């Protein structure tokens, strides 16, 4: 595993998501409140769609794919509603100063 800088904390507003393509990985970085960060694979497993463009549900720790409405857990990557049936990858994330760092496979 390698830890890479994905973005600045200022790049993602609270209770929102943003897509980043870093080191060959397509990532959805999700910020809930000021201090909770999640990173999952950005491509919906049901159809080609950017999960980061979907609605974030902060209390549920979920994000909804904008194309067909599948909801994914931010903690496990598991799809919680149809039509998606396969999980998206989940990545370890931490904030160091103003940087968002993510562990990705080397």
Q: What does the pLDDT read at residue 36?
A: 96
Q: What does the pLDDT read at residue 48?
A: 86
Q: What does the pLDDT read at residue 47?
A: 87
Strands (E), the chain: 2-8, 16-22, 25-32, 36-41, 56-57, 62-64, 71-73, 90-91, 93-96, 99-104
Q: What is the pLDDT of residues 12-69, one digit of tens each?
A: 999 999 999 998 999 999 999 989 999 999 999 998 899 999 999 999 999 999 999 9
Cα 57 from Cα 74, distance rounded (Å) = 10
Q: What does the pLDDT read at residue 52?
A: 98
Query: CATH fold of 12-91, please?
Result: Rieske Iron-sulfur Protein (2.102.10)
Q: What is the pLDDT of residues 70-85, one digit of tens each?
A: 999 999 999 999 999 9
Q: What does the pLDDT read at residue 1?
A: 86
Strand, coil or helix: what is 38? strand
| Domain layout of the chain by residue ranges | 12-91
């Amino acid at each position: 595993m390698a830890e890479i800088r994905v973005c600045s904390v200022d790049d993602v507003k609270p209770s929102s998501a943003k897509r980043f393509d870093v080191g060959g990985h397509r990532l959805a970085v999700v910020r809930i409140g000021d201090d909770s960060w999640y990173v999952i694979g950005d491509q919906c497993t049901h159809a080609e769609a950017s999960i980061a463009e979907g609605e974030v549900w902060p209390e549920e720790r979920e994000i909804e794919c904008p194309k067909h409405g599948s909801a994914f857990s931010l903690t496990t990557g598991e799809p919680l509603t149809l039509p998606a049936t396969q999980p998206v990858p989940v990545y370890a994330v931490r904030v160091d100063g103003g940087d968002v760092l993510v562990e990705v496979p080397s």
